[in-house]
């Protein structure tokens, strides 16, 4: 459980960093995301999950 909480904390830090460092650019980027087709967002989400899985696999090896 300790490791899980550490991982969740790191994810929140990395997720929050762009909003803290570049709030104006994040607003622009979020508007672009709203206009993107659902299929493209789904593909991006799948790719990011796959890369996360590969990183976890590499880290646990």
Alpha helices in 1-61 (DSSP H): 2-21, 23-35, 38-60
- The answer to pTM > 0.95 is no
Kindly compute the dihedral angle of the four CA atoms of residues 24, 39, 58, 56, in this order, to the nearest 10 degrees: 70
Name the residue with higher pLDDT: 25 or 3.
25
Q: pLDDT (tens digit, 9 = 90+) per residue, 14-44?
A: 999 999 999 999 999 999 999 999 999 999 9
CA distance 41 to 17: 21
pLDDT band at 61 (very low <50, low <70, confident <90, very high): confident
């Amino acid at each position: 459980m300790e490791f899980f909480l550490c991982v969740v904390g790191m994810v929140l830090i990395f997720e929050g960093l762009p909003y803290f460092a570049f709030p104006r650019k994040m607003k622009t980027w979020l508007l672009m995301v709203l206009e993107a087709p659902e299929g493209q967002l789904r593909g991006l989400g799948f790719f990011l999950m796959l890369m996360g899985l590969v990183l976890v696999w590499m880290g646990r090896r």
